[in-house]
Structure 1
Amino acid sequence: MNESIILDDLDRRILNALQIDAARTNNELAASVHASPPTCLRRVKRLIDAGVITRQVAILAPEKIGTPLTAIVEITLDRQGAEHMAEFESLVAGETAVLQCYRVSPGPDFVMVVQVTDMPAYHALAHRLFASQANVRNVRSFFSMHRSKFETRIAL
């Protein structure tokens, strides 16, 4: 069940600050949101416990670490029963090159964001995930020429 948590102004300031830089210390965070360090720490813990903050990560530059090719992939399955959809999602979950996978409607069944080193690496991934799967009916791949915006921050 997706229950919303009521966020006050301080919660929103904390969440905005963490979305910009989650690596700052609690004291730095507290100073930036105009709260005491104990209050800030307690609020962050509450936001984590409530599932508002699901994890804190470092965002890497793909081109700097050898995975510059981004593909946006649409997948349509032959059979769309719940067990078939879950089976495909399970297969995709095991692929580290798949950064995001969404079940969508209408149109294709899934849209994925894939990050790989080059076209041969994409071809190998496509063979593993799509060509060798009997239930995959259609695959459309779009390759990024330029990323004009990439944001992880959710407006509050």
Structure 2
Amino acid sequence: MARSPSVKRSLDRFDRAILRIVQRDNKTPQRRIAEAVNLSAAAVQRRIAAMEAAGVIDRNIAIVDTRAVAMTITAIVEVRMINEHRETADAARALFTATPEVQQCYYVTGGISFVLVIVAPDMPSYEALTRRLFNENEAVASFRSLLALDRVKTGCEIVIP
């Protein structure tokens, strides 16, 4: 789950240029980043460390191709809870956060409570997961699964002006 930056940090043009690069590949050598943004490698290292400390850079992760690890089902699931009370939403957040198959979870408005992105190795596994998360969960009023036919674009790069 993403966290809010812990310290207010104003990003200058160098920070933004560095972020554009590390979002595409966070293993880019700092000397290459330094050349691209016209700073020293030491300055890039300090700026990256400062952005990590401030929570601007939340995590460094690997995005795994689901086909390579035999997770062939990707579902986008709309979940409507029985109510929007804090306790209900917090319990759902905790459950979804603790479930490894739930790759992304959004608490949303518009008549739906949560939108999830779920991966599973096959349809029987997905069905068992939906029973556990939704059918047997008294706090869930309803859910709707949209099964992905193709993963056209994945990742987490955001546009940084």
Give TM-score, length-normalised by structure 1: 0.94
**1:91 CA displacement:** 1.1
Give the total of aligned pairs: 156
Deviations 1:132-156 (A, max 9, x none): 1111111100000112222411111
Deviations 1:87-145 (A, max 9, x none): 11111111100001111001210000001111111101101101111111111000001
Q: RMSD in angstroms over aligned alpha carbons?
A: 1.5
Give structure 1 regions of 4+ aligned residues with deviation exceeding 4 angstroms: 1-4
CA distance in 2 between counterparts of 1:32 and 1:65 reads 34
CA contact (8 A) 2:33 2:44 kept: yes
Which amino acid counterpart does residue 130 of structure 1 have in structure 2?
F
CA distance in 1 between counterparts of 2:120 and 2:32 reads 36
Task: Confirm or deny that 1:47 pairs with 2:51.
Answer: yes
* Aligned-residue identity in percent: 33
Structure 2 stretches lacking a partner, 5+ long: none
Which amino acid counterpart does residue 81 of structure 1 have in structure 2?
H
**1:4 CA displacement:** 5.0
Matches within 5 A, 1:4-153: 5-153=9-157
Which amino acid counterpart does residue 55 of structure 2 have in structure 1?
G
Give TM-score, length-normalised by structure 2: 0.91
Structure 1 stretches lacking a partner, 5+ long: none
CA distance in 2 between counterparts of 1:128 and 1:117 reads 16
